[in-house]
């Protein structure tokens, strides 16, 4: 059994991180280790480095300042290339969001979700959000930050000849706003990551690499998904090699493994071994 003690003392073997020339830098979304990070952020970052990662995406500062967080990253030779922020915080405190991103050394600020009063995002939600996202992207772009929106399973209801996401994509200016594809949520919404990447080349500079348990009932909303529905890469429904091939062909720049399982630290070695063995 992997215990908290063995996790942080390095008393168990870790595989080397997969060679990345085929697709690009493979980082980790720190949310994967949220339970550990809440209790011991320095130890969690040290563990991430021992796994072999060099890049991370920050989802929370875990009650630290951005400057404190940056010092811990530097101490572990980790680089935060992306930082997530909630919609309401970006709406009310965009300058603070940008300041934190700069302090961390991030290049991307990712809006984590769009508030909505219905089960799924509506066209009206997308029209309203696009106005804000365009404004935010233009503002943070003045200081060389890039604004993205993270896709979930709520944007893909059918609308006219496409989906609600197509409305959001058409209403956002690619000079100011692009997207982070979460391939778990794309598949969960009955969409094809490969087709979507080729439909919107260059608009997905970021990707969450994540697999969904076989047998999971698809087509609901994020609240319907259980933590155990997140499984090691290569063990679920997602065609990981096809998604990574398409990502390379269409301009994805940064990749982050995300594992939402409670025991993600125990599952990460299997994901890394899987990536190391990929041939395409």
Residue-wise pLDDT tens digits, 137-181: 999 999 999 999 999 989 999 999 899 999 999 999 999 999 999
pLDDT for the residue numbered 10: 44
- 204's CB contacts (< 8 A; 6+ apart) are 178, 179, 180, 181, 196, 197, 247, 250, 251, 252
pLDDT for the residue numbered 3: 46
- The Cα-based distances of 109 to 28, 105, 178 in angstroms read 16, 11, 10
pTM for the full predicted model: 0.92
pLDDT for the residue numbered 24: 74
Domain 20-276 has CATH 1.10.3720.10: no
pLDDT for the residue numbered 17: 56
Output the tens digit of pLDDT for each of the chain's 280 residues: 334 444 444 434 455 554 555 667 899 999 999 999 999 999 999 999 999 999 999 999 999 999 999 999 999 999 999 999 999 999 999 999 999 999 999 999 999 999 887 888 999 999 999 999 999 999 999 999 999 999 998 999 999 989 999 999 999 999 999 999 999 999 999 999 999 999 999 999 999 999 999 999 999 888 889 999 999 999 999 999 999 999 999 999 999 999 999 999 999 999 999 999 997 6
């Amino acid at each position: 059994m992997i215990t908290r003690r063995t996790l942080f003392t390095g008393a168990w073997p870790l595989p080397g991180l997969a060679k990345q020339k085929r697709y690009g830098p493979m980082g980790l979304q720190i949310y994967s280790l949220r339970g550990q990070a809440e209790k011991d952020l320095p130890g969690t970052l040290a563990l991430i480095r021992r796994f072999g990662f060099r890049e991370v995406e920050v989802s929370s500062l875990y009650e630290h300042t951005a400057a404190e967080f940056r010092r811990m990253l530097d101490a572990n030779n980790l680089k935060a290339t992306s930082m997530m922020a909630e919609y309401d915080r970006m709406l009310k405190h965009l300058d603070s969001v940008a300041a934190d991103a700069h302090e961390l050394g991030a290049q991307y600020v990712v809006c984590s979700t769009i508030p909505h009063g219905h089960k799924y995002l509506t066209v009206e939600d997308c029209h309203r959000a696009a106005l804000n996202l365009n404004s935010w992207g233009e503002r943070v772009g003045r200081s060389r930050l890039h604004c993205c929106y993270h896709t979930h399973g709520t944007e893909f209801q059918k609308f006219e000849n496409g989906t609600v996401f197509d409305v959001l994509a058409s209403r956002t200016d690619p000079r100011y706003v692009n997207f982070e594809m979460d391939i778990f949520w794309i598949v969960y919404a009955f969409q094809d990551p490969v087709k979507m990447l080729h439909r919107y080349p260059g608009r997905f500079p970021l990707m969450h690499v994540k697999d969904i348990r076989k047998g999971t009932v698809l087509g609901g909303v994020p609240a319907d998904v259980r933590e155990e529905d997140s499984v090691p890469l290569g063990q679920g429904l997602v065609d990981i090699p096809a998604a990574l091939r398409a990502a390379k062909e269409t301009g994805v720049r940064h990749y982050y493994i995300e594992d939402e399982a409670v025991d993600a630290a125990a599952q990460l070695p299997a994901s890394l071994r899987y990536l190391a063995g990929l041939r395409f």
